[in-house]
Structure 1
C-alpha cells in the first residue's frame, strides 16, 4: 500500500504546525511533502507536483478565518482530504472532535485518506522477516486465527452512507447493521479456526508458555480465543488500529469483553459460557481487581506479567509487583556444607516428591531444624537442576486481609506456570498471624500448586492447612553427625583443620544451625590470617558471635572472667563443680553412645542449684563453670521477665530458654526464689496465675537441654517439686578462717600489696569474719585509699576500708593491730 502524502501548511510560522509535521515524518505509512510545514501560499504549487494515485491529505493549521478561506479555494480537488486544525493545536478539528491530540490526528489522517474505511491491508499478515514472540505452534496458530478474525471483522466495516469509521456513522448505516447483524465467515477464517483447534489438541504444556497457560488454567476453546483477542494489542500496532475501528472510536486501542463476545458468537451466550467456567476471572487473567468478568464496555487488558510471560519473559510472573516482595530471591545458605553423595540423593528425592506428589498437595517439613530443611531443599534443587520458589511467611503475615485471595492465586499461578517447586517458610512466624496464613495458604491451595511448608510445629501446620491433603516427612532433616561434618567443612573453607572431636565439641558448645555455620564460615574467612591457633580462635569467635546474635533484652550477656581456681570452697563442693563440667562435656557419650538418653524423655540438660549466704561465691562459681566449658552466661533479668500481664511471664521465660538453647549459653537465674517460690493455696486470681508461672518454669527447665544454674540465699523458700528436678544442689557455706585467708590473698593482687606478709593475711582471716563478696568490696575500697595516698596497700588502708564496710552492715568496728609482729 502506497504511503499517504501529507502536506502540512500554516497561515504563519507556528510551533504546532512544526510539531504535526515532525510527527507525520516519523510515521512509516506517511510521507511529508516538502519535508516541513509550509506557508499557505505554497499549497497550489506543491499539490500540483504530487501524483493523484496515492492518498493525499492537506492539514491546515491556523485561525479559522484564515484556514477557511484556503479551504474554499481547494474545494473540488479530486482525491484530496482537507483537515483544518485551529490554534492553539488540539482545540478544534472540522470532524467535530475536541481535544483530539496529536496521535488521534494521525489516526484521522489514515482513516480519511482511505476511501473505503479500513481495508484488508490494514491488518496484513506479519511479514516473513517479522519476529514472533515466544515462537510456538499454538501461539502461531493463535496469531493466524486472530489475524483472520480481525481481518474478517474489519472487512465488514464499510464507508457507505457517508461513514467515517471510528469517527462518524450515518443513520442509514446503523439501520443496515440492525437489519443484518451477522455475516458468514470467509474461507480464511474457517481455515484459521480449524488450524487453531488442531494446534490446541496437539499442544503440550512444556512446549511453550501459551500451552502451559491453557493446561494449568484448564481453559476451554472459547476462553483461549478470548485470551487471544485480549492479547492482540500486545502483538501488533495494526491490531490496535483495527480494534479502534471495530469499536467505532479510534481513540481506543484495547478491546472490550463486548467486542470479543460479538466476534465469537452471540454476546449473551458467550458471556454466559465464560461465567459458567470462570477460569479467566478465577486465574486473574485480566488486569482488574476481583474474580468477576468485567463489564461489556470496559477495556479488556490482560495482566501485564502474564502477557510478558506468554511472550517469552521467563521471570515476568515473579516480577509481578503484587507478589515479588513476598519471595526470597537468594538461595538459602548451607547446601555446600552438606554436599555428600548420600545427602544429595536424599535431597533430590525430597524435591521430586515436592514437585510430583500424586495425592498430597502439601509436604510438611516440620521440626526444630528449619535451616536444615532449607539447605537440604537447595541441595535437592541443584541435583534436579531446578530452582526453588522461596516464599517468606513473615512477609505473607504482613499482607492486608483484602489482598490475601488475589495474592495467593498469583503465587500459585506463578508456581504452576514456571514449573518450579514452591516452599513456604513459616519458621519465624508467630501464632498471632495464623488467620492470615490460613487464608493465604488456602488461596494457594485452590490453584492446585504443590508446595512444601517449613515450620517447627507439625500440629500447627496441620491446623493451618485445614482439609487440604498433605504428607509429612520425618524430622530432623540433618543428623548431629551431619552438623559436625558441616562445621569441619566450614573450618576447612575458612583455612584451618578441625578434628572430629574439636568439631563435635564446638557443635555442642554453640548449637549452630547449618545457616549459622555458613555465616560463621564467611565471617571467619574475612579475617583468616595469622597462625593456625589464631585462625582457630577467629573461627570459634565467629561461631560464638553468630550463636549470640538476636539474643533478647530479657537477659544480660556475661563473659566469664573467673576460673575454677579462683573459687574458694571446701574440697567436696569444689569437686561437684568439676562434676558439673564433666556432665556437660560427656553428655553425648553417656546419653547417646551408652543409650542412657532412652531412659530420659526429658531432663537431658544439666541443672544445678547454688545456695548459701550472700557473698559466698555462688555467681563466681557459675561464671567459672561457664569459662571451663568455654561458653558465655545469660543471666535472667527478673525485672524484664516478670510481667503484670497474664501470660506474658510465660512467654518471656520461653524466649529466654530459646535464646540460651540457640546460642549454646549457660543460663543463670540469680535469686531464683523470686521465680520459684513455693506454690500457695489458691485464694484469688493472683495466686492462681502465680502458681501457673512456677509450674511453667518447672516444665520449661525439664525440656531444656543445656546448662542452667540457679542461685539463692534462701533454699527453704524454693518449691519442693523444683528441688526434685535438680541434678546438683551445692551448699556454699560461710568461709572459715583458712578460707578467708585464701580469699584475702586472691583479692589483693601482688603488685598492689605493700607490707603484707603471711602473718598479715592470717590476721585478716581470723579477725574479719565476712564472706568473700564483702572482702572483695573491702579490698577495692582499700586500693583507692592507698592510691589517694600514693602508697601501696597495707593494713592501715585495709583497716579503714573494713570499718567502713562494717558500718555499712550495721556492725561495730573492728580493731586491727597494724604491728603484725605482735600477732604473728
Structure 2
C-alpha cells in the first residue's frame, strides 16, 4: 500500500511549527481509529447496524476520515453492490501506523535540530512520556483540536452525548495485542506520568467503573498545546512568571552589581557550576520518549538569604539564565501557599507542572515566613521538582534532611562592604551631577544593599520631579530606606537641633563629637582598615549618655544622628516589655532585626529599666529577669548598628553592659555660665521677647530641660495676655516648673522679681 504516509520524501522535512506536528500526529491516530472502527464493524458479522450511534449514521462517520483512509472502504462497499456488508479490517492500516510513527519521529528530530521548538515533543520530554502515553494524551486532546472527533467518539460510544473518549475506548484503540488491561495499568495508574502530573483529568467523584469514565486533557495542558503561554489560572496569587534580570550566565555581572563578599561569590559560583553541569549532562535536544538517557548530575537547590535588596531575586534570575538566555523563572510566594484554595500538595503539583511546561527554574520567595515544620515540608515537596530551585528569605536556614534529588547550597547575602558600596553608589549616580565625594560619604554612612541604593536614587529623583537628585534628597531617601519597619516598634525622634543648640562643658562636647565621628566613619575603620575581622561578634556602636534628667541626653542623641545623616528611633518600652515569659525577648528580637536591616540609630531612654543589674536568683521571677538581661547582652554585642542608651542612674547599669559600651558621656548639671547660655538660646528668633535678666535667671538651679519647659510655659502666658514675653511671665513659669519637681520655692531666691501668687 503506497500513499502519502509512506512517502519517504516527507521524512526528511522538518515541521513548520507545533501545530503542524500535532496535526501530523493526529492523522497517524486517524489510521489507528479507522482500524478500530473496522474491527468493531467486523465484530458484528460484517452487517451494518443502521441504528448504530443513534443519530450518527455510518456514512457520517465514514466521511470524518481523510479520503485516502476511508476511500478504500467506500470502494469495497461499492463492490458489495449494496449488500449492507462491510469487509474485514485492513491489516495494512497497522503497518501504516508504525511506518507513520517512524516518519513523525524523524521529522521531530529534524525540526529540533533546526532550532524549532515543538510543544508536544517538549511535553513528552519534560514529563517522561512514552509513545503510548503520548497517543493516549492525543486521543483525549483530539476533540479540543478538531470538533469532528466529538462526532466520532459519540458514534463509537453509541451515545451522542458522550463526546469525549472513555478510558476503555483509549485502552481498546491502543491495545495492539488485545491486552487492554495491561494498557490500562500502564497508562492510567495513579503513579503514571499522565495522572501523576495531572495531564489527563478523570472525574474522581464518578461512581462508574474506571473504564467507563470519560477522560479529558487538563485545561492548562490543552491551552499549552494550542500555543497559549499564560500561567495556570489556578495559581493566581500564588505563582507568576517573571522575566530574569539582565545578568550574565557566569554570575560575574551579578557579583559586581550586588557587591558580593568572597564567601558569597564562592557559593554563587558553586551554585551556577552545579546548574551548568546538570544542564549539560541532562540535555537531550532530540528526545525519544521510548529511549531516554539521563545523566547522573542533580540540579541545584539553593537557599539565598539576606536583607531586602541584597539580591535574592537576582540570584534566582542568574540560575534561570544559566540554563538559557531566554529561560523563564517561575516565582511562588511561600506565604500564600498555606492558604491556597487547592491545598498545599495540589498547588505545589501544579507549580511543578507549570515549571516543567516552561522549562523554568523555580523561585520560592518569603520562605522564612513559614514555621520550621512548614519549611521542612515545603523543601521536601519542591525537591520533587526536576529543575533548579532557589528558596529565599531574610533569615538563615538549613534543611534538617538534605534534599535527595538536588544539590543544596546555602548562599548568605549581606550588606556590601564600604568599598563595594562606594562602587555601587558611584555607578548609580554616574549620570547625575552628584560627585564621587558625596557618593563615598553616602557609602560610609549608610549600610544599604545594592537594591536599596537603587531605590534611594530613584526615590530622590522622583522627589525632585525626575531631575537630577539633590544631595539632601539622597540623604532623605537613604534615611527612609534605613528605617525599615521600625515605625511599628519604635518612635521616630525629631531632629531639630544642631551643635550650636546644645550647651555642655568643653570635655563633654569633645566626647560627644567623638561619638558622632564614630558613627560617621564606621565604614572606613571597620571595612577599609580591617577592624571588622577583629570584631566578628559585632561592628556596632554602643554609647551611654548618663546624667540627671533634663541635662540634654536625648537632645545629644538627636544631634549625633543628624550629624551622621541617620534617623533616630526611640524604643517604646511599653510595646517591648511584657509580663509573659519570653515575650519581651521576642519583641526585642524584632526591634534588633528590623533595625539591623537599615542604619537608624536606636535610642533606649531610661535604659536601666532594661539593662539593669542582674540579681541573685531567689525565685522564678529573678531567673526570668536575668534571662532578659542575658538576652540583651547577646543581641547588643552582635548588633552592627548604633545604639544610644540614656540613664539617670549609671550605677544601675549591669557591669557586663558597661564593658560592651564603646563610648560613655556624663552629662552634668549645667553650671551658672551654662545656664545663662541656655536661657539666651531657648527662645526662637520669632518670639517677641522684651529685655530679660539672663544673669539673674542663670542663678536659678535648673537643668536644660527645666529651662526649656519654663520658656514654653512663659510663652503661653504671654500669648494669653496679648503681650511679649517679659520677666514676669518667665519668673512665674519658673515657679511652676520648680513646684512640679517638688523644689521649695523661696521668695529670697527671686529677690525683686518675686510676686505673690494670685
Scaled by the length of structure 2, the TM-score of the pair is: 0.79
8 Å CA contact 1:744–1:765 kept in 2: the answer is: yes
SS, match of residue 698 in structure 2: helix
Question: Equivalent of 2:531, from 596, 610, 635?
Answer: 596
Q: Which has the larger radius of gyration?
A: 1
Structure 1 residue 391 corresponds to structure 2 residue 305: no
- After superposition, the Cα gap between the structure-2 partners of 1:146 and 1:438, relative to the gap in structure 1 and judged at 3 Å, is farther
Question: Equivalent of 2:135, from 222, 225, 230?
Answer: 225
- Equivalent residue, structure 2, for 1:516: 452
Q: Deviations over 1:574-629 (max 9, x none)?
A: 11111011112222222222222221112311101111111111111111111111
Alpha-carbon offset, residue 649 of structure 1: 1.9
Alpha-carbon offset, residue 744 of structure 1: 1.4
Alpha-carbon offset, residue 520 of structure 1: 2.7
Q: Deviations over 1:233-257 (max 9, x none)?
A: 1221111110111111111111111
Alpha-carbon offset, residue 763 of structure 1: 1.5
- After superposition, the Cα gap between the structure-2 partners of 1:334 and 1:267, relative to the gap in structure 1 and judged at 3 Å, is closer
- After superposition, the Cα gap between the structure-2 partners of 1:446 and 1:334, relative to the gap in structure 1 and judged at 3 Å, is closer
- Equivalent residue, structure 2, for 1:463: 400
Question: Equivalent of 1:300, from 197, 208, 215?
Answer: 215
Alignment size in residue pairs = 666
Counterparts of 2:377 and 2:492 in 1: how far apart (Å)?
40
Structure 1 residue 409 corresponds to structure 2 residue 354: no
- Equivalent residue, structure 2, for 1:375: 314
Q: Deviations over 1:653-698 (max 9, x none)?
A: 1221233232311100001111112223334433333222221121
Q: Deviations over 1:70-90 (max 9, x none)?
A: xxxxxxxxxxxxxxxxxxxxx
- Equivalent residue, structure 1, for 2:521: 586
Alpha-carbon offset, residue 354 of structure 1: 3.8
Q: 1:347-358 alignment to 2 at 5 Å?
A: 353-354=274-275, 356-357=277-278
- Equivalent residue, structure 2, for 1:491: 429
Structure 1's unaligned 5+ residue stretches are 1-127, 170-181
Counterparts of 1:274 and 1:381 in 2: how far apart (Å)?
33
- Equivalent residue, structure 1, for 2:93: 188
SS, match of residue 234 in structure 2: coil
Question: Equivalent of 1:239, from 132, 137, 149?
Answer: 149
SS, match of residue 462 in structure 1: coil
- Equivalent residue, structure 2, for 1:658: 593
8 Å CA contact 1:323–1:407 kept in 2: the answer is: yes
Structure 1 residue 438 corresponds to structure 2 residue 371: no
8 Å CA contact 1:738–1:765 kept in 2: the answer is: yes
Alpha-carbon offset, residue 747 of structure 1: 1.3
Q: Deviations over 1:453-501 (max 9, x none)?
A: 223445x2423755454242654488434443333333345x43331x4
Question: Equivalent of 2:548, from 604, 607, 613?
Answer: 613
**Residue range with higher mean Cα deviation, 538-547 or 291-300:** 291-300
- Equivalent residue, structure 2, for 1:106: none
Question: Equivalent of 1:145, from 25, 28, 32?
Answer: 28
- After superposition, the Cα gap between the structure-2 partners of 1:800 and 1:230, relative to the gap in structure 1 and judged at 3 Å, is same
Alpha-carbon offset, residue 818 of structure 1: 4.3
Q: Deviations over 1:398-424 (max 9, x none)?
A: 344962222222222222332233222
Structure 1 residue 320 corresponds to structure 2 residue 232: yes
Question: Equivalent of 2:185, from 249, 261, 272?
Answer: 272
Counterparts of 2:144 and 2:581 in 1: how far apart (Å)?
60
Alpha-carbon offset, residue 232 of structure 1: 1.4
Structure 1 residue 257 corresponds to structure 2 residue 167: yes
- After superposition, the Cα gap between the structure-2 partners of 1:740 and 1:702, relative to the gap in structure 1 and judged at 3 Å, is same
Question: Equivalent of 1:449, from 352, 377, 387?
Answer: 387
- After superposition, the Cα gap between the structure-2 partners of 1:723 and 1:477, relative to the gap in structure 1 and judged at 3 Å, is closer
- After superposition, the Cα gap between the structure-2 partners of 1:400 and 1:219, relative to the gap in structure 1 and judged at 3 Å, is same
**Residue range with higher mean Cα deviation, 253-262 or 466-475:** 466-475
Q: What is the RMSD of the two structures over their aligned residues, measured on CA atoms?
A: 3.6
SS, match of residue 301 in structure 2: strand
- Equivalent residue, structure 2, for 1:96: none
Counterparts of 1:394 and 1:543 in 2: how far apart (Å)?
29
Structure 1 residue 216 corresponds to structure 2 residue 126: yes
Higher relative contact order (CA 8 A, sep 6+): 2
Counterparts of 2:203 and 2:298 in 1: how far apart (Å)?
31
- Equivalent residue, structure 1, for 2:705: 773
Counterparts of 1:803 and 1:559 in 2: how far apart (Å)?
29
Counterparts of 2:134 and 2:184 in 1: how far apart (Å)?
14
Alpha-carbon offset, residue 764 of structure 1: 1.3
Counterparts of 1:335 and 1:616 in 2: how far apart (Å)?
55
SS, match of residue 712 in structure 2: helix
Counterparts of 1:761 and 1:300 in 2: how far apart (Å)?
96
Structure 2's unaligned 5+ residue stretches are 1-9, 57-86, 259-264, 282-296
Question: Equivalent of 1:686, from 621, 640, 644?
Answer: 621
- After superposition, the Cα gap between the structure-2 partners of 1:341 and 1:555, relative to the gap in structure 1 and judged at 3 Å, is closer
- Equivalent residue, structure 1, for 2:287: none
Counterparts of 1:455 and 1:531 in 2: how far apart (Å)?
35
Question: Equivalent of 1:803, from 720, 735, 742?
Answer: 735
- Equivalent residue, structure 2, for 1:762: 695
SS, match of residue 770 in structure 1: coil
SS, match of residue 496 in structure 1: coil
8 Å CA contact 1:667–1:709 kept in 2: the answer is: yes
SS, match of residue 301 in structure 1: strand
Q: Deviations over 1:199-221 (max 9, x none)?
A: 44885687412112222222223
Structure 1 residue 472 corresponds to structure 2 residue 409: yes
**Residue range with higher mean Cα deviation, 141-150 or 577-586:** 141-150
Q: Deviations over 1:377-408 (max 9, x none)?
A: 54676785224424233344434496222222
- After superposition, the Cα gap between the structure-2 partners of 1:382 and 1:162, relative to the gap in structure 1 and judged at 3 Å, is closer
8 Å CA contact 1:351–1:421 kept in 2: the answer is: no
SS, match of residue 497 in structure 1: coil
Alpha-carbon offset, residue 642 of structure 1: 1.4
Counterparts of 1:515 and 1:294 in 2: how far apart (Å)?
58
8 Å CA contact 2:244–2:328 kept in 1: the answer is: no
- Equivalent residue, structure 2, for 1:35: none
SS, match of residue 614 in structure 1: coil
SS, match of residue 817 in structure 1: helix
SS, match of residue 363 in structure 1: strand
- Equivalent residue, structure 2, for 1:423: 363
Counterparts of 2:35 and 2:482 in 1: how far apart (Å)?
71
- After superposition, the Cα gap between the structure-2 partners of 1:740 and 1:510, relative to the gap in structure 1 and judged at 3 Å, is same
- Equivalent residue, structure 1, for 2:290: none
Q: Deviations over 1:741-795 (max 9, x none)?
A: 11211213455464535xx2221112x1121111111111111222223332222
SS, match of residue 715 in structure 2: helix
Q: 1:660-739 alignment to 2 at 5 Å?
A: 660-739=595-674
- Equivalent residue, structure 2, for 1:33: none
SS, match of residue 523 in structure 2: helix
Q: Deviations over 1:295-331 (max 9, x none)?
A: 2222201111112212333x24xx2122243234455
8 Å CA contact 1:610–1:730 kept in 2: the answer is: yes
Counterparts of 1:224 and 1:281 in 2: how far apart (Å)?
13
8 Å CA contact 1:520–1:542 kept in 2: the answer is: yes
- Equivalent residue, structure 2, for 1:792: 724
